[in-house]
Chains A and B, each alone.
Chain A
Amino acid sequence: MENQNVHIPASGYRTAKGFCLTSAFWMMVATFMGLLGATELIAPDITENIGWLVFGRVRPIHINLVLFGFVTPGLMAAAFYYIPRLLRTELYSETLGVGTVVLWNAALVGVVVSLAAGHTQGREYAELIWPLDVGVVVVFAMVFVNFVMTVATRKEPVLYVSVWYALAGVVLTTLTYCLGNIIWRPDTGALAGIPDAIILWFYGHNIFGLLLTPLSAGVAYYVIPRAVKAPLYSHTLSLVGFWALLVVYTHIGTHHLLQVPVPTWLKVISIVDSVAMVIPVMAFLINIWYTAKGRLGEIHADIGAKFVFTGTIMYFFVSIQGSMMALPQVQRVTHFNNWVVGHAHIGVLGFAGMIALGGLYYILPYLTGRPLYSRFLADFQYWMVLIGVSGFTVVLTIVGLIQGNAWLNGETVYRLLPPVHIYYVLRAALGLMIFSSALLGFYNITRSMFFEPGESS
């Protein structure tokens, strides 16, 4: 039913809606690819003779779709909603925004087709071939123009911290993407030797630290105060956290290469700053948690806020864990095994993915002027994702410790396969849950957007 109280601008929030749909759709495909990959780890012959579905192709499709298909568009949807609202103006150009969504989706189709066909540059998180690299840079540049021009036409003089985060995320990603993908070398997309590894991981870490993290922080800083109907605990602290993130996060990429002969000074910087990450992380968390202090009931009442708040708790875990993993003595055990995969899932799904879903569910009623189609389905999805990601953490951490310990003691890889097999089965079962939840989410979101909502629960 149409709600008269909601003011929907003439533009109709088309860009935000487009990004919501993009995120919900690609979450299904991305999690399916994850599930398929997990199944292949249990039964490696299952896609035998199907070249475009071998693990080596399924995995990059999975991670690229999660990053650029599900999480980033989800966070963008919220940003395209909150930036104009916080600046008391309208989005600079919905047409440009819709064009961005279309191009973004075209690029994602290109990602699936090219990777499945075996066209890859073979560098983690930078697999995409040159034409797609250019596509990614162009869409980020389009988002940047839209955001900056919206800021330029603002009626509110002060930029709220969410606006800072969204702008920084977009600017920095446009730049680091070019650098990390060695975009000036279309044929290989790589330098030679160790410098290539350094630059790749500088970029790789910035994808989490300067894209997913700032966009997620922006959503949390917007949704939580609104949901609990209280001002932010401290805007000054939020800006301290913002600038600290820029200073510290940019230096830590080399903690992915502590077992590699890169210059020691670079390793030292990366380790020190990985530990120093506790400053921006706690500045953010203290701020959000103090804002919500004593008002958890309000968070519980709002499904969007519930996702977001859970994401902040995951952020605490992933960051503390990350700082520990950057210590060389710890990493001797945890590197190169499923421990890191566990960490990656707490970060990308538990933190950024949860917040992307939360932002999406939070803004949907405002975009459509109607309540969410089904709060029950959203809640159900919440629990499935939460159980899924917590389960991943437990299972993958156990496998990681088994592998790390055994390898450190000189055990060979193949002899470990039987004991870890059961954990891979568990992991696939949890993946099935997350994939099912993505189906529910897509259904709920499209119903909320296109059809009259009915009372469902």
Chain B
Amino acid sequence: MYLPYFVTYIAAGLIIALAVFFWALRNGQFRDQQRARFLPLEADPEARGAAVRKSRFARLEIAALFFLVAAGLAASAAVVVFALINANRW
């Protein structure tokens, strides 16, 4: 028998949703919508402009990683080319 579970769930969902909605209504959550638009912009800690230290090691490391990835990509391409060449044999 599954209906009691469905009904309980639907009831719980509805009650929670309605309760939260009416809480929001009374709490003034829908009132000052113009100010709400700006909320993410306030108190902006700017991390992006920070100075970046240059290092030769980091450059080498990136080059090595880049090489690895390029090898991975080349392997992918090789698989595709191989498959295309052999396509009619399968």
Contacts and interface: CB of A to CB of B under 8 A. Distances in A.
B39 A86 contact: yes
Given A160-B40, A370-B47, A456-B61, A429 B77 contact: yes
Contact of A436 (B35, B38, B61, B73): B73
B72 A191 contact: no
Nearest to A167: B20
A365 interface: yes
Contact of B46 (A6, A239, A440): A6
Interface in A404-457: 418, 421-422, 425-426, 428-430, 432-433, 436, 440, 443, 452-457
A222 B42 CA distance: 11
Contact of B44 (A171, A222, A226, A453): A226
A152 interface: no
A224 to B, nearest CB: 9
B2 A195 contact: yes
Contact of B69 (A1, A440, A452): A440
A231 interface: yes
A377 B66 CA distance: 9
Given A229-B41, A380-B69, A374 B47 contact: no
A173 to B, nearest CB: 12
A447 B89 CA distance: 46
Given A221-B40, A422-B87, A429-B77, A236 B33 contact: yes
Interface size classification for chain B: 35 or more
Contact of B76 (A229, A366, A433): A433
B33 A454 contact: no
A365 B40 contact: no
A235 interface: yes
A243 B20 CA distance: 11
Contacts of B27: 157
Contact of B50 (A88, A172, A199, A365): A365
A179 B30 CA distance: 32
A158 B35 contact: yes
Interface string A4-17: 01110000000000
B21 interface: yes
A1 B83 contact: no
Interface residues of A, number: 70
Contacts of B57: 454
B62 A226 contact: no
A153 to B, nearest CB: 15
A357 B13 CA distance: 31
B76 A160 contact: no
A226 B55 contact: no
A376 interface: yes
A183 B36 CA distance: 39
Contact of A454 (B34, B35, B36, B58): B58
Contacts of A422: 83-84, 87
A425 B46 CA distance: 45
Contacts, number: 158
A235 B77 contact: no
A456 B59 contact: yes
Nearest to A229: B41
B2 A370 contact: no
Contacts of B59: 454-456
B26 interface: no
Contacts of A235: 33-34, 36-37
A158 B36 contact: yes
A371 interface: yes
A124 interface: no
B47 A231 contact: no
A126 B77 CA distance: 36
Given A6-B47, A452-B53, A454-B58, A175 B12 contact: yes
B77 A374 contact: no
A331 interface: no
Contact of A1 (B2, B53, B61, B79): B53
Contacts of B43: 85, 88
A89 to B, nearest CB: 11
Contacts of B42: 88
Interface string B49-88: 1111111011101100110110011011101100110010
Interface string A217-251: 00001100110011111111001000100100010
A24 to B, nearest CB: 15
Interface string A379-402: 010001000000000000000000
Contacts of A432: 72, 75-76, 79
A7 B45 contact: yes
B50 A421 contact: no
B17 to A, nearest CB: 6
A45 interface: no
Contacts of A232: 36-38, 40
B50 A374 contact: no
Interface of B: 2, 5-6, 9, 12-13, 16-17, 21, 24, 27-30, 32-55, 57-59, 61-62, 65-66, 68-69, 72-73, 75-77, 79-80, 83-84, 87, 90
